[in-house]
Amino acid sequence: MPEKLLYVKANPKSDSDSTTFALANVFVEEYQKKNPDSEIITLDLYKEGIAPLDADTLTKMFSGQDNRALVYAKQFAKMDKYVIAAPMWNLSIPAILKAYFDYVSYVGISFKYTENGPIGLLTDKPRKAVHISSRGGIYSEGPAKEFDLGDKYIKTILGFFGITQVESLFLENANVLQGDDLQKAIEQSHQNARNLAAGFR
Q: Using one digit for the tens of pLDDT, what is the confidence trace for 104-153?
A: 999 999 999 999 999 999 999 999 999 999 999 999 999 999 999 999 99
β-pair partners for 167: 130
Query: In whole angstroms, what is the distance from residue 148 CA to residue 133 CA?
Result: 12
What is the CA 79 to chain-centroid distance, rounded? 13
Phi-psi region of 64 (alpha: psi -120 to 50; beta: other; left: phi over 0): left
The answer to whether 94 and 87 are in contact (CB under 8 A) is: yes
Query: In whole angstroms, what is the distance from residue 127 CA to residue 59 CA?
Result: 30
Q: Using one digit for the tens of pLDDT, what is the confidence trace for 2-53?
A: 899 999 999 999 999 999 999 999 999 999 999 999 999 999 999 999 999 9
Residue 93's CATH number = 3.40.50.360
Q: In the chain, how many domains are there? A: 1
Query: In whole angstroms, what is the distance from residue 115 CA to residue 135 CA?
Result: 41
DSSP sequence for 43-92:
EEHHHHT-----HHHHHHHHHT---HHHHHHHHHHH-SEEEEE---BTTB
Domain that holds residue 150: 4-198
Task: Classify burial at 137, counting beta carbons within 10 Å of its beta carbon; exposed 0-12, middle 13-18, buried 19 or more.
Answer: middle
- Rg from Cα positions in the chain: 17
Give me the pLDDT at residue 61, please.
86
